[in-house]
Amino acid sequence: MIEDPREVERKRLLGIDDADTPTREELAAILEEVNEGKIPRDKIALQMLVEEMVQWPNLEVEATKKGKWKSKYAKATNTGIDPELAAKRLNVDWDTTAEIEEEDGSDESDVPSVVGYGAFYLVTAFPVIIGVSVVLILFYNSLQ
């Protein structure tokens, strides 16, 4: 039998010993019926369940509703654009927005032409050079 210690203490202090009140199991069964969408027949037990649920903590707290905002991905990239919104801005049917191709702009890279990718290759090759050197040194020492 499921007993709420607070309820037992309250009944003991007030001297209430009512056999007609529903048990914790009956309240749990009624809560399950309500959760399943059924209408319980025992209205007194349902009223007691409502009174008990009102006393439950944190039921009044509602989650804060945030307005619609763009994700960080949508802000950072041009691929995070909603085609319907873009079509409205361009006054084009949104089905034809997929057919819009980007104009061939300048092919300028972010890396200056003086440096190029040489620095990238050097940084990448440096650990490989160290590894090959270690293997050659170990091989040379094993021959002696």
Q: What's the predicted TM-score (pTM) here? A: 0.34
Burial class (CB in 10 A: 0-12, 13-18, 19+), 87: middle
78 backbone dihedrals φ, ψ, rounded to 5°? -90, -5
How do the domains of the chain map onto residue ranges? 5-54, 113-144
109-142 pLDDT, tens digit per residue, is 665 666 677 878 888 899 999 999 999 999 999 9
Cα 92 to chain centroid distance, Å, stands at 34
2-39 pLDDT, tens digit per residue, is 777 887 777 666 555 666 677 778 888 998 998 898 88
Q: Name the 3-class secondary structure at 141.
A: helix
